Chains A and B, each alone.
Chain A
Amino acid sequence: MRDPVPAAPLAAIGLLSASALSYEILLTRIFAIVHWHHLVAIAISLALLGYGISGTFLALTSRRLEGHFAAAFIANAVLFGVSSLACTALAQRLPFDPQALGWDGRQWLYLTATFLILAVPFFAAANCIGLTLWRFKGQIPRVYGFDLIGAGLGAFVVLIALAFVHPATGLFAVFVSGMLVAVSAARTLRWHTGKVAAVALLLTGLVASWGRPVVEPAAYKDLALAMSAYGAVVEDARSGIAGAVHLVRNDKVPLRFAPGLSLNASALPPQQLAVFVDGDAAGTLGDYSGDDSTAYFRDLISALPYLLRQPRRVAVLNAATGERAQQALALGAATVTAVEPNPELHALACDRRAQRSRYLCDPGRVDWRVQAPRAFIGGNAGPFDLISLTAAADPTGLDALNIDFDLTTEAFRTYLGGLAPRGLLAIEGPTRVPPRLSMRMLDTARAALVADGIAQPALHIAMIRGWQRFVLLVSRDPLQPSDEDVIRGFSTARGFDLVWLPHIRPDEPNRHQQLNEPQFFLQAAAILGPDAGADATAPRYRVTAANDNHPFPALSTRWQDLWATLSRGDRSAISRLDTGLFVGTAMLALVGVASIVLIALPLAWLRRPPGRPAQTGLRIRTLGYFGLLGIAFLFLEIAWIQRLQLFLGHPVYATTAVLAAFLIFAGLGSLWSQRRSDATGRSRLWLAIMAILLFSLLYLSYLPGWLERLAGLSIAARIAIVLLFLAPLAFAMGIPFPAGLEALGKGSAQLIPWAWGINGCASVISAAAAPLLAIAIGLDGLIMVALAAYLMLPLIRPAQ
């Protein structure tokens, strides 16, 4: 029986779209906490997969659902709410361990299951929206408008909410939203309102009685490992947009974090509390109330610049909870500027410091700035005698795909510009053998000095290493022989090894931390020495300078090694690859197969209407047009999410702002396009392509410079600026899809589901492929590929 439908459930649609987008953004945070935070593109890919599967599902089943719209809508709304909780919980129970993906076949099953499980909520939400568009054909613009506005608002609501509540609480809110959508729809559609409300209430009561949903780090993350230790307790937990912060105390097995401590050290680090952000170790809070509690600072490798130049004005970038700022104070700095972008870390440090350190939160000694380091130094801060920055890299390369604009050539130039005469830039980081991050930093320093017009960068650089850490010193002024003597003395006394000095002798390195070959020195010489670039010393890893176009400083695996390893099927060699790169490639393979199997292939079952010719040429053009469109749209979207992280300071801000902009303005572009006359379809397409080209090239050339000047504004202002800049570009990007459908609609409407499937597949695969391609061709290259794809569209428009 066909159910009576008095009005479209517009409020329900708006709320549902808001909830679905909120869930998508929440997933990026949940991925960061449970696994690691590279997975922004994967969350987008998941959402697209769910929407794509829904499109195929509806194309195949819509006739059967025709008479049960209200029931189907409400069932899917309930499914969305319940699955947002249940699927997230279920996915966390899978013992997925990315580090074991290379050799444990079960991990592929877990990864596949994780993907399919987490696509369910998006599938349910898309079913509701698709069914409504189909059922209320006469009100499509209104339905679509509520959908877009809801999604746009959802992006901002979740962004604001994340500043105050943990993502787990956000999940509960998404569940409640799903229930409200069901009740609202039942009321609007006059379909068993009372019973639906009772079921929704019952489910809400049940879920509430179980307590807040759990979002916990996987067993392999630092926090989980720390908590497994005897006596570990969480003393404080707080959550913000920049991450979930945990403070762990252990009185039974006190934590001691002293990276780069000399083997000859006599003083011990004090008892510490450990700080974790999203389950990853992020710093410590030491007890510096004792007289000799800071003595060990002199024996850390990071003490070198202090003993070399006795800096008075020091900037500590990415200061976390202030341990390095404490070191600066202990080693003689008069004033310290501690720059930390995560407000929760600063708050935690200064809430807890009162009894532990007299000076660290004394505004007279330490000026705390909650800001991105590069924006702070670039905003004419300083000058400083020392700018100190700690670089991080996972020992297995899990963070290889992480974008870090603080460690690029452009960033180094900014830091060098913030130095006083004879000032030093000090970069400390972890060593691996063969050398990787250390050499990338060395080459980045070289590139920055060369870009600043310094002809002999080798005279401005020094590097030493311990068994786990390195320190790189860079100066705008050449290092003096007396400086080199101090560095030699420091290293000898503490058992560190020289890696590079302007006048280093070949017999000096590799004395204390011995390798079979002096690999660090040889590679440093290959970068800075007179034979720089010689093939004989070419490293087997990626050690070239990182820049804003290739902001992946932790990446060390070269493409040729990845392909060679994978093509040989040599599982033991996989352990030598960066885990993050391998996992990213695995995910691309997985979503590729999933999207083809679940979106495209089912559409092949759609029968051609009787009497229709095969239309091979048109099918090829349809494949090309909608495939290229999917690639082009997603590449632009991902490229801007990644590029704008520099301006917005955090992936969550960038993801939210860019998604909201593309959602709202591309949607408006689509609506505008649909309302225009059929006769202007081709010219509208050309107009849109030209606008996309114009704005993209304009932004590629000038936007970084414009945004750099605006980097000091508040985050709300910066998000508004991003929306403003992206609005015309996104508006134009909304036009080609309906233009293509419109062309197909004139006599080849039976190909529309096929076009839909192709676009869905291309979008899902592109979202996963974009980060990998960006490594190869850069973020600008990603944009150029997208523009090339857009340019081809008018040539292959699938018109009869």
Chain B
Amino acid sequence: MTKRFRISSIALLLLACAAPSGWAQGPGDAANRALWTEVESQISQLRDELGIDRLSPRVLEALMQVPRARFVPEDERRRAFENRPLPIGYGQTISQPLIVAAMTALLEVKPGDRIFELGTGSGYQAAILDALGAEVYSVEIVPELGARARDTLDELGHRGVQTRIGDGYFGWEEAAPFDAIIVTAASDHIPPPLIRQLKPGGRMLIPVGSRYVTQKLVLITRDERGAVKTRELLPVVFVPLTGTH
């Protein structure tokens, strides 16, 4: 391969012999409103795929109330109001706001619901569930991420979120059964203990895809007789990355 260059060098040499920006402090109200207005609009457009018409006022209020910027690293905060996932370190991301909104809506959270989250990540999703009045139990395997999320949750007063560093595979036996389960760290199979810890009539959600693109949401339901079914929502027709970036 490099031969031509060597050959070329002979002739050539024979000839030669002859011849990021800072993030403004503050919640950014206008940007925040614009973000969630865009998300609300997208949810409406995806009603057929998601099976929901729109975000409920309760969910929308929770989404607008929890400051996403506080859950992302300093150098990503200027992008916090963009409708896209952002890296939070350790190869992990904070989900795209659209996905967070869709998952929150699909869980149909009621005040007092007990929810298990596998994969605390930044703590953002747990904070939103807490804002909806749920009792949240969340496990994270990366200690640094778990500690950072705990600090953020404490700073923002989300005392209703219980966190733990460790193995989420077995769920949170002491707090089971759960009305809903969120598996934010998708694996190659759904841990059987989690299915067992889901109440009859409960809902489990798993986003599947890469770090930046959620290719589908898998909704697992357990009916009153214990039969388990999955439903794939948002298959790839869904457009994940919008906004100005």
Query: How near does chain A come to B117, taking the closest CB pair, in angstroms?
Result: 16
CB pair B188 A468 closer than 8 Å? yes
A516 interface neighbour in B17, B49, B213, Cβ under 8 Å: B49
Chain A CB within 10 Å — which of B3, B5, B143, B167 has the most?
A: B3
User: Taking CB as reference atom, which chain A residue is nearest B233?
Assistant: A516
Find out whether the CB atom of B189 lies under 8 angstroms from the CB atom of A253. no
Question: What are 20 A-B residue pairs whose CB atoms fall within 8 Å in the complex?
Answer: A20-B2, A54-B5, A58-B12, A59-B15, A102-B241, A104-B245, A133-B10, A261-B188, A396-B209, A467-B218, A513-B232, A514-B232, A515-B231, A571-B245, A576-B236, A633-B4, A749-B14, A755-B8, A755-B11, A756-B11
Ordered nearest first, which 9 A-B pairs have the shortest CB separation? Answer: A134-B13, A51-B5, A62-B16, A261-B189, A433-B235, A572-B241, A259-B188, A130-B9, A396-B210
* Chain B, Cβ-Cβ closest to A603: B12
Q: How far is the CB of A610 from chain B (nearest CB, A)?
A: 12
Q: Is A711 an interface residue (CB 8 A)?
A: no
Which residue on B lies nearest to A260, using beta carbons? B189
Say whether B195 faces chain A, with CB atoms less than 8 Å apart: yes
A478 an interface residue at 8 Å Cβ cutoff?
no
Residue A316 interfacial (CB < 8 Å): no
What residues of chain B lie closer than 8 Å to A134, measured between beta carbons?
Answer: 9, 13-14, 16-17
In contact, A395 and B228 (Cβ under 8 angstroms): no
Bound complex: CA A220 to CA B213 (Å): 14
User: Which of A112-120, A143-151, A546-554 lines the interface with chain B?
Assistant: A143-151
A254 cross-chain contacts in B, Cβ below 8 A: 167, 169
Smallest Cβ-Cβ distance to A105: which chain B residue:
B245
Q: Does B188 lie within 8 Å of A258, measured CB to CB?
A: yes
Contact of B14 among A21, A137, A252, A256 (CB under 8 A): A137
A713 at interface by CB-CB < 8 Å: no
**A511's closest neighbor in chain B, by CB?**
B229
**Contact call A737/B8, Cβ cutoff below 8 A:** yes
Min C-beta distance of A428 to chain B, whole Å:
12
Chain A residues lying within 8 Å of B48, measured Cβ to Cβ, are: 516
Q: In chain B, what residue has the closest Cβ to A671? A: B7
Q: Which residues of B contact A58 (CB under 8 A)?
A: 9, 12-13, 16
Q: Is the CB of A760 within 8 A of B8?
A: yes
Contact of B229 among A44, A514, A659 (CB under 8 A): A514
From B9, B143, B220, give the contact of A126 (CB < 8 A): B9
Whether a CB of chain B sits under 8 angstroms from the CB of A219 is yes
Mask for A80-108, Cβ within 8 A of B = 1, else 0?
00000000000000000001101110000
Most chain A CB within 10 A, of B1, B84, B188, B193, is at: B1
Chain A contacts with B in 243-298, Cβ cutoff 8 A: 252-254, 256-261, 263-268
Report Cα–Cα, A434/B192, bound state, in Å. Answer: 26
* Interface assignment of B175: CB less than 8 Å from any CB of chain A: no
* Chain B, range 152-207, C-beta contacts under 8 Å to A: 165-167, 169, 187-193, 195
- Which among A252, A260, A395, A749 is the interface contact of B18 at CB below 8 angstroms? A749
Complex CA distance for A688 and B192, rounded to whole angstroms = 67
Bound: A148/B9 CA distance, A: 13
Chain B residues, Cβ within 8 Å of A193: none
Are A575 and B213 in contact, CB atoms less than 8 angstroms apart?
yes
Q: Does B208 contact A (CB under 8 A)?
A: yes
* Most chain A beta-carbon contacts within 10 A, residue among B146, B167, B195, B242: B167
CB contact under 8 A between A253 and B141, given known A48-B5, A99-B210, A572-B242: yes
**Quick check: B1 and A756 within 8 Å, CB to CB?**
no
The interface residues of chain A lying within 8 Å CB-to-CB of B121 are: none
How close is A219's CB to chain B, nearest CB, in angstroms?
5
The answer to whether A151 and B235 touch (CB under 8 A), given A58-B9, A396-B213, is no
As a 0/1 sequence over residues 1 to 35 of chain B, the CB contacts with chain A under 8 angstroms (1 = contact) are 11111111111111111110000000000000000
Q: Is A347 an interface residue, CB under 8 A from the partner? A: no
Tell me the residues in window 206-235 of chain B with beta carbons closer than 8 Å to chain A beta carbons.
208-213, 215-216, 218, 220, 228-232, 235
Give per-residue flags for B51-63: 1 if the beta carbon is below 8 A from chain A beta carbons, else 0. 0000000000000
Contact B143 A230 (CB under 8 A): yes
A728 sits at the interface (CB 8 A): no
Question: Closest approach, in angstroms, between the C-beta of A295 and any C-beta of chain B?
Answer: 12
Q: A38-73: contact bitstring with B at CB < 8 Å (1 yes, 0 no)?
A: 000000100110011011001100110000000000
B240 located at the interface, meaning its Cβ lies under 8 Å from any Cβ of chain A in the complex: yes
In Å, the complex CA distance between A224 and B142 comes to: 12
Q: How far is the CB of B163 from chain A (nearest CB, A)?
A: 13
A519 contact set on B, CB distance < 8 A: 235
Q: Is A734 an interface residue (CB 8 A)?
A: yes
A279: min CB distance to chain B, Å: 11
Question: Residues of A contacting B167 with CB < 8 Å?
Answer: 252-254
Q: Are A253 and B166 in contact (CB-based, < 8 A)? A: yes
Q: Which residues does chain A contribute within 8 Å of B16, judged by CB atoms? A: 58-59, 62-63, 134
A637, B4: Cα distance in complex, Å:
12
Task: Tell me whether A220 and B211 are in contact (CB under 8 A).
Answer: yes
**Distance, CA A573 to CA B236, complexed state (A):** 10
Chain B interface size, as a band, is: 35 or more
* Secondary structure dominating the interface of B: mixed
* Cα of A44 to Cα of B5 in the assembled complex, Å: 13
Give the interface of B toward A (CB within 8 A).
Answer: 1-19, 48-49, 84, 90-91, 141-143, 146, 165-167, 169, 187-193, 195, 208-213, 215-216, 218, 220, 228-232, 235-236, 239-242, 245
Q: Is the CB of B235 within 8 A of A750?
A: no
State in angstroms the CA–CA spacing of A633 and B2 once bound together: 11
User: Which has the most chain A C-beta neighbours within 10 Å: B15, B48, B142, B208?
Assistant: B15
Residue of B nearest to A251 (CB): B167
Q: How far is the CB of A565 from chain B (nearest CB, A)?
A: 12
User: Given the complex, which residues of A lie within 8 Å of B191, measured CB to CB?
Assistant: 256
B91 touching A219, Cβ below 8 Å:
yes
For B169, the chain A residues whose CB sits under 8 A away are 253-254, 256
Task: Assess the B15–A752 pair: CB atoms within 8 A.
Answer: yes
B7 to chain A, nearest CB (A): 5
Contact between chains at B212 and A575 (CB < 8 Å): yes
Instruction: Report if A263-B230 is in contact (Cβ < 8 Å); known contacts: A133-B13, A268-B192.
Output: yes
Q: Complex formed: what's the CA distance from A272 to B209 in Å?
A: 24
Give the docked Cα–Cα distance between A134 and B209 (Å). Answer: 56
Assess the A745–B232 pair: CB atoms within 8 A: no
A652-670 Cβ-contact flags toward B at 8 Å (1 or 0): 0000000100110011001
A634 to B48, CA, bound (A): 50
Determine the chain A residues whose CB is within 8 A of the CB of B2 once the complex forms.
Answer: 20-21, 24, 47-48, 51, 126, 151, 663
Is A512 part of the binding interface, using a Cβ–Cβ cutoff of 8 Å?
yes
Give the residue name and chain of the A residue nearest to B232 (CB): A515
A233, CB-defined interface residue at 8 Å: no
In the assembled complex, how far is the CB of residue A437 from the closest CB belonging to chain B, in whole angstroms? 13
Chain B contacts for A267, CB-based, 8 A: 192
The residues of A that contact B218 with a CB separation of less than 8 Å are: 467
Q: Is the CB of B229 within 8 A of A663?
A: no
The answer to whether B241 touches A575 (Cβ under 8 A) is: yes
Q: Is the CB of B11 within 8 A of A230?
A: no
Q: Is the CB–CB distance between B6 and A667 below 8 Å?
A: yes
Other A-B contacts than A133-B10, A258-B188, A760-B5, 7 sampled, CB-CB below 8 A, are A48-B2, A100-B212, A126-B9, A254-B169, A261-B192, A432-B236, A737-B7
* CB proximity of B52 to chain A, nearest CB, Å: 14
Cβ of B17: which chain A residues have Cβ within 8 Å of it?
A: 62, 134, 137
- Closest B residue to A256 by beta carbon equals B169
Known: A433-B215, A513-B230. A749 touches B19 (CB 8 A): yes
Question: In the complex the two chains form, is B232's CB within 8 Å of A759's CB?
Answer: no
A387: Cβ under 8 A from any B Cβ: no
Chain A proximity of B160: nearest CB distance (Å):
24
CB-CB contacts below 8 Å: A306-342 with B: none
The answer, among B3, B12, B15, B240, for a CB contact under 8 Å with A662, is: B3
Across the interface, do A99 and B212 meet the contact criterion of CB distance under 8 Å?
Answer: yes
Interchain CA distance A98-B24 in the complex, whole Å: 29
Smallest CB gap from A744: residue in B: B11
Task: Give the complex CA separation of A220 and B188 in angstroms.
Answer: 17
Contacts of A629 in B (CB 8 A): 4
Q: Is the CB of B228 within 8 A of A47?
A: no
Contact of A745 among B11, B188, B239 (CB under 8 A): B11
